[in-house]
Amino acid sequence: TLAVPAAPSILRRSRARRGGKRVRFAQVTVYYFARRQGFTCVPSAGGSSLGMAPRHHRARRYSLSQFAHLRQVSHRQHLRQHLRREKLRARRRELTQNGTVPSAEAAGLTLADVSDDDLDVGQVEVGDYFYLQPLPT
């Protein structure tokens, strides 16, 4: 029998060809679009699908470090607002005996009644928790 040598792996060939060339980015350009109702899908959690305006209303350029910091601050603010809404819902549930008896005190509570001291922002990893907030119908 005649032995046929195995062909070299495609993965190994591509690494060898790349050599020392790398792409490096110095800045990030962010385009801001208004959110709109989308029409191309049905969200799995219900509600309206999300789309965006056909044209951006603003564009900003950031260095990579500025952009990373901006995202971290923005995500932490969104998380804080989300936790504040959750805490408000929990307080209202407590005051209405788990939603069975209406309470004037519960109806009068607002987000301003929930302080930053009431939130456990430090216990939550922002990167794991952040998600796009639903657009109200």
pLDDT tens per residue across span 7-51? 666 666 555 555 678 888 889 999 999 988 887 888 777 777 888
Given this model, what pLDDT does residue 48 score? Answer: 76
In a domain, 28, yes or no: no
The residue that leads in pLDDT, 72 or 123, is 72
Report the predicted TM-score, pTM, of the whole model to 2 decimal places.
0.54
Q: 48-89 pLDDT, tens per residue?
A: 788 889 999 999 999 999 999 998 888 888 888 888 888 878
In a domain, 26, yes or no: no
Given this model, what pLDDT does residue 126 score? Answer: 58
What is the distance between the alpha carbons of residues 107 and 61, in angstroms, rounded to a whole number? 44
Given this model, what pLDDT does residue 62 score? Answer: 96
In a domain, 3, yes or no: no
Number of domains observed in the structure of the chain: 1
Q: How far is Cα of residue 122 from the mean position of the Cα atoms in its chain?
A: 17
Strands 35-37 and 50-52: antiparallel
In a domain, 76, yes or no: yes
In a domain, 23, yes or no: no
In a domain, 53, yes or no: no
Domain of 79? Answer: 64-131
Three-class DSSP category at 71: helix
Given this model, what pLDDT does residue 113 score? Answer: 75
In a domain, 125, yes or no: yes
In a domain, 109, yes or no: yes
